[in-house]
Structure 1
Amino acid sequence: MTKYIDPFLEENISSFGDLFNRLDSKMLDNLSACDNYKLLNKENEEVKLKYPHLVDIIESTVATKDIYSKEEIQALATYMQNQHMINNYEKCEMYKVA
């Protein structure tokens, strides 16, 4: 019969913390080696720098302006598409390491 180990007991918490830290580290190492992942993040940073008022929409979902240009809307759409692909890379890596 298998004995149940409660992961939330004080003596087990540090072991799980170490495991999660190692998994996070491995995931970040794998992602930092991926050129597409780095390119997507770079493009998103460029959008934030070029259109600082879009950062409000991106981070807090509050629009500070009433009217946005076609270029701004396209930049926001690009950012959202890139962020979706970034999230997919991260999820894929998370499942690979687990």
Structure 2
Amino acid sequence: MGLLATLKPAAGATAALYTTPTGRSATVNLSACNTGQVEARVRVAVGTGATPPASGWIEYDAVLAPSGVLERTAIALAANERLFVQSSTADVCFNVWGIEEVA
């Protein structure tokens, strides 16, 4: 298991944090860490397009206190699936660790 992606997106911007490579599947863990001094609201989604589908959200406006951490484990992704993230502040770091396997 290794670090697959890391990102600190701009406030309010939805960004693709990780995309499973073609021909592979992945099982990943996600960590969101609020390094700021105010609470943040974070969102996490899974989808295959350029933007997350309305039904793809697995966290939606979860409150993350200053110095707080949100963790999601064992997220199973098929080939070409993306993990999208968003935060209400620019102070949230997102990290993905996991294992990629031949599909």
- TM category (shorter chain) comes to under 0.3
Between Structure 1 and Structure 2, the one with more strand by share is: 2
Identify, as 1 or 2, the structure richer in helix: 1
Relative contact order, CA 8 A, sep 6+: which one is greater?
A: 2
**Quick check: which has more Rg, 1 or 2?**
1
